[in-house]
Amino acid sequence: MTKKVRVIIVDDSKTGRAFIAAALRRDPDIEITGMAADPLEARDLIIKDQPDVITLDIEMPNMNGLQFLEKIMRMRPIPVVMVSSLTARGAETSIEALQLGAFDCFPKPASFAGIDAYAGLVPLVKAAAGSISGRTSSKNSILNNKTSQRRVVSPEVIAIGASTGGVEALGAILPRLPSTFPPVMITQHMPPLFTASLATRLNQMCDITLQEAEDGVPLENGHAYIAPGGTRHLHLKKMGGRLFTSLDEGDPVSGHRPSVDELFRSVAQCSGASSVGVILTGMGRDGAEGLLEMRSAGAYTLGQSAASCVVYGMPKAAVEVGAVERMVPLSSMAEMLISYCKSENGGFV
């Protein structure tokens, strides 16, 4: 018999608690062990029920969700899925929550949306319950012995794809890149508004310049471009020998818009062997086929190691299809990229 995922719901709205509970109860593998209207009430429930996962509203009385999350992560780490309003302020707070250690954030639907609008919370809660705790570094793993002899080619663009756990991963990689680094294009699965807040926060931490991608911007060294969350795919385009960003409002691909597969495929077509592809932590398979196209085109491809992933889903899928040349722990990813991208004279492109 499969052990049920035990969940405590923390939300100051009675309606919000009811909708979340109703959505989660549709899955027979989930058990609601308690509900609380504020963190003080939740604290006693956590001690009593020992849940596997907590859903936590950000805006609450007595103690806001961020303060409570910080206490949880410090005193008794439990996977926490934040439930946040889809506003600019909510997005900014959600990014802070992810940096504090929240598993993921779920955008709170409008009050009139109904139970079906909460359906996406179910896989997040189940994935949180199965997430890897106590993540550690591990040695680099070369999946193709020929890669150890690979010649440094000074790539013209780095493409990165991530989902659940990606905020933490990007925060570990990007601040360590020098201001002269080749341009970086990023697709991170996020709702609308969230990626602008993510770019702003990362920009404060980095020597490179972070921005939410706009259409038709020429790529520059020392810049990183993040696909707008939930709205458009980010593509690489080449015109007159120069590289540009391109945004496409096409249908979701691999279940996502923006899609990592879409970014990787465009990079494979435009830059081929003059590119590097990196697939980071995340649920599902988005990015696996696109990374394989990059590798087939001659690009150098890296995957985040299982031991350092919040969710070893996307990198695992990429390994399974033969898209990854080297698995790298998160703690070593920035140094691996810097080492590979240096030209023979010690500089970058």
User: pLDDT digit string (tens) for 237-259?
Assistant: 999 999 999 999 999 999 999 99
Task: State the catalytic residues.
Answer: 163, 189, 286
Smallest CA-to-CA distance from 163 within 280, 321, 70, 319 is with 280
User: Does 5-129 match 141-341 in CATH topology?
Assistant: yes
pTM over 0.85: yes
Annotated domain spans of the chain: 5-129, 141-341
CATH class of the region 5-129: alpha beta
What is the CA 258 to chain-centroid distance, rounded? 12
Using CA atoms, how far residue 181 sits from 45, 159, 224, 343, in Å, is 48, 13, 10, 11
Residue 349: is its pLDDT beyond 70? no
The β-bridge partners of 195 are: none
CA 246 – CA 238 distance, rounded (Å): 10
CA 259 – CA 253 distance, rounded (Å): 6
Residue carrying structure tokens 């960003």: 245
Residue 305: is its pLDDT beyond 60? yes
Using pLDDT thresholds of 50, 70 and 90, give the confidence band for residue 345: very low
Residue 114: is its pLDDT beyond 80? yes
CATH class of the region 141-341: alpha beta
